[in-house]
Amino acid sequence: MPVEATKEERWTPYRHPQPQHSPPELVVPNVIPEDDRVWVPVDDNVWFRPLLFCVTRGYWMNLLKVRKAGVLSRHRHPLPVHGYVLKGKWRYLEHDWVATEGAYVYEAPGETHTLVVDPDVEEMITMFQVNGAMIYVDPDGKCLGYDDVFTRLEKCRAHYAANGLGADYVEQFIR
């Protein structure tokens, strides 16, 4: 059981240096950006917005935005994925549930699924933590390609270089 601190001690910041090799914290002030150039195109009417590229642990955090209905991608994850729906709704063809605004979704390692946004959804935005990779597959599981923290990082670098934000804009998200 922790020792009870005095009222004054509770409001006193930690007095010692942080660990020498600990990377700096990351605060993204406008998660849904005012500048649309921050959104990186994935497909027609589909974008992602990076929040964090953890190159030492092999995961990334991003927002996925979809405008208009469609099938996005069939993919498999070797590690867990966490999602939180900020706006709209979406589902997987392989399941009977719908992830609605405010929902948390845990995707188990090894599962293959196909993300769908239905015609009644004007816009969907979901925050995802993707660990490891997204392995794109055909309906029989044959590998068609992949994304990992490094391919996503390079997609951002190229997009920002081309749209005037500058290739180094992505550096702020790397830990």
Read off the pLDDT of residues 108-125 as tens digits, 9 standing for 90 and up: 999 999 999 999 999 999
78 closest CA partner among 98, 59, 96, 50 = 59
pLDDT band with cut points at 50, 70 and 90 for residue 19: very high
Residue 7 pLDDT exceeds 80: yes
CA 155 from chain centre, in angstroms, equals 14
Across the range 35-62, mean pLDDT stands at: 96
Q: Which residue has the higher pLDDT, 43 or 135?
A: 135
Residue 129 pLDDT exceeds 80: yes
Give the per-residue pLDDT at 14. Answer: 93
For residues 48 and 105, what is the distance between their CA atoms, to the nearest angstrom? 18
What is the residue type of 42?
A: V
Q: Backbone phi, then psi, for 169, in 5-degree steps?
A: -55, -35
Six-digit token string for 71: 């099938």
Whole-model pTM over 0.75: yes
Antiparallel, parallel or unpaired: β 89-92 and 112-117: antiparallel
Look over the chain and give the mean of its residue pLDDT values, rounded to a whole number: 95
Give the per-residue pLDDT at 1. Answer: 61
CA torsion 84→31→22→13, rounded to 10°?
Answer: -100
In percent, the amount of the chain with pLDDT more than 70 equals: 99
For residues 31 and 79, what is the distance between their CA atoms, to the nearest angstrom? 25
- Can you count the helices (H) and strands (E) in the chain? 2, 12
